[in-house]
């Protein structure tokens, strides 16, 4: 069977979809324990549910590894900022089990503010300490996910997922891969080369998924961090289906440099090899925060990159399945109300949800098939095949493209820009491709 994009969804699903702005529980409602969920008010099971967009971040660090805030504080930040899901993805750590942390160690990262804000938000009956502030070993307990999730989750509005950043090294370079919605810790198993390390750790994720029968989403993180992973590496580890086309950490070399390509260019280079030479499915792009700093200090702050996933239900399984089917887009600020690909006419269409005082530029980017069945020529990789100024656009494939994808750029900068002259963007997934012919 040839495989094409969106194979898990019917065309019908794609033609009647409207983005819905998330409405989540406010901080005030949380603190009072008051629920506004309609599902709490009726015993009827939901019927005739239409797919909708859910906003989420799947790359987040907390005090469980090298982040500088408590996990339930971080979750509250995302609730308060309109997100629907959040995966905590600490380095080689799950938020499980008993863990005490010296308050002095927290102060080394964030000053006194982290503990003060934590106590103010959740109160002394929730915050669990050992000793008194004058003791050298004054400590606070980090709450495991299963303990604090009841405080922040609300059916149909906000859920937490367990994630892990499987953090390995090879050839002196960092090789990091996230697993979202895993159940058991994965200890990195290394490899002789970068590619072998990617393959080995990915295999562990896929084995756990199979063994437990639980949907897990692996994605390769920040390839240009430490200039660790090339477009060729991304192309050749074909079991890897997802990578970070945008990571909000300022240290990940998103734009590349004089001699090395930026991340978005790497996406097209890798997919040109996959579809043009290897007959392998393309990489899909994910945007994340990779957040570490939560108190306004410089560094990797929350709210810079996220995914919008279209599914009927807000559950880990539905979100992961939708992403595996390519039914999501990435954003650093631009919101889309619809993205559709008509399999019959081979037309990719999208509609932007405009923000006040913003104008939009939409590029359709394709890699053209080589007429001689060799690798696509470099100049035909990732070229702009159509551009529109406005909030709606569509592109019909001519048959020459290996795939097409769209990038929307706003005239406005992001709320918290990472690099000079940055503009809000949205990236849709490559469509129109076919493998296994």
Chain residues binding Zn ion by CB under 5 A are 165, 176, 221, 290
Residues linked to residue 102 through DSSP beta bridges, in sequence order: 139
- 169 vs 324, beta carbon nearer Zn ion: 169
Q: Which is nearer to Zn ion, 176 or 236 (CB)?
A: 176
- Is the Cα torsion angle 114, 117, 120, 122 positive or negative in sign? negative
Order the strands of the 99-102 sheet from edge to edge: 99-102, 139-142, 129-130
Point out the residue whose Cβ comes nearest to Zn ion.
176
Nearest-approach distance from CB 290 to Zn ion, in angstroms: 4
CB of residue 89 vs Zn ion: minimum separation in angstroms?
Answer: 6
CB atoms within 10 A of CB 108: 10
Q: Which is nearer to Zn ion, 233 or 290 (CB)?
A: 290
Instruction: Compute the least distance from the CB of residue 221 to Zn ion, in Å.
Output: 5
**Residues 6, 279: Cα–Cα separation, whole Å:** 17
Torsion from C-alpha of 10, 12, 16, 19, nearest 10 degrees: 0
- Shortest distance (Å) from residue 167 CB to Zn ion: 6
Considering the complex, state which of residue 61 and residue 310 has its C-beta at the smaller distance from Zn ion. 61
| Cβ-based nearer residue to Zn ion, 144 or 174 | 174
Smallest distance from Zn ion to CB 310, Å: 25
Residue 176 vs 254, nearer CB to Zn ion: 176
Cβ-Cβ contacts under 8 Å for 108 (sequence gap 6 or more): none
- Helical segments of 55-123, H only: 71-80, 103-110, 113-122
CB of 78 vs Zn ion, minimal distance in Å: 16
For the sheet containing 347-353, what is the strand order?
335-342, 347-353, 392-396
**3-class secondary structure for 254-278?**
CCCCCCCCCHHHHHHHHHHHHHHHH
């Amino acid at each position: 069977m040839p495989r094409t994009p969106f194979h898990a969804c019917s065309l019908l699903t794609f033609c009647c979809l409207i983005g819905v702005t998330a409405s989540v529980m406010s901080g005030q409602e949380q603190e009072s324990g008051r629920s506004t969920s309609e599902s709490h008010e009726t015993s009827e099971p939901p019927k005739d549910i239409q797919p909708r967009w859910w906003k989420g971040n799947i790359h987040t660090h907390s005090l469980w590894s090298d982040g500088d805030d408590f996990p339930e504080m971080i979750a509250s930040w995302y609730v308060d900022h309109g997100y629907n899901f959040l995966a905590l993805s600490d380095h080689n750590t799950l938020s499980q089990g008993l863990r005490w942390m010296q308050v002095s160690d927290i102060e080394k990262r964030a000053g006194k503010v982290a503990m003060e804000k934590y106590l103010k938000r959740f109160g002394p009956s929730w915050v669990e300490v050992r000793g008194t502030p004058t003791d050298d070993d004054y400590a606070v307990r980090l709450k495991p996910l299963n303990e604090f999730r009841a405080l922040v989750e609300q059916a149909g509005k906000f859920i937490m997922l367990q994630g892990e950043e499987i953090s390995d090294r090879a050839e002196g370079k960092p090789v990091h891969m996230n697993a979202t919605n895993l159940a058991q810790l994965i200890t990195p198993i290394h490899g002789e080369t970068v590619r072998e390390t990617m393959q080995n750790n990915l295999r562990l994720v896929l084995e756990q998924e199979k063994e437990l029968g639980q949907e897990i989403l692996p994605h390769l993180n920040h390839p240009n961090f430490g200039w660790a992973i090339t477009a060729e590496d991304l192309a050749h580890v074909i079991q890897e289906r997802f990578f970070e086309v945008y990571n909000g950490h300022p240290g990940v070399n998103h734009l590349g440099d004089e001699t090395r390509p930026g991340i978005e260019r790497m996406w097209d280079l890798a997919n040109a090899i996959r579809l043009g030479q290897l007959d392998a499915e393309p990489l899909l792009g994910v945007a994340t925060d990779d957040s570490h700093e939560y108190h306004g200090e410089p560094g990797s702050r929350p709210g810079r990159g996220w995914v919008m996933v279209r599914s009927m239900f807000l559950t880990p399984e539905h979100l992961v399945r939708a992403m595996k089917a390519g039914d999501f887009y990435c954003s650093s600020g631009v919101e889309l109300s619809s993205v559709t690909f008509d399999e019959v006419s081979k037309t990719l269409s999208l509609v932007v949800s405009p923000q006040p005082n913003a104008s939009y530029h939409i590029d359709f980017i394709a890699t053209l098939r080589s007429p001689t069945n060799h690798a696509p020529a470099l100049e035909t990789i990732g070229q702009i095949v159509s551009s529109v100024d406005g909030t709606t656009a569509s592109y019909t494939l001519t048959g020459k493209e290996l795939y097409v994808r769209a990038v929307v750029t706003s005239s406005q900068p992001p709320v918290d820009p990472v690099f000079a002259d940055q503009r809000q963007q949205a990236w849709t997934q490559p469509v129109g491709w076919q493998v296994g012919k």
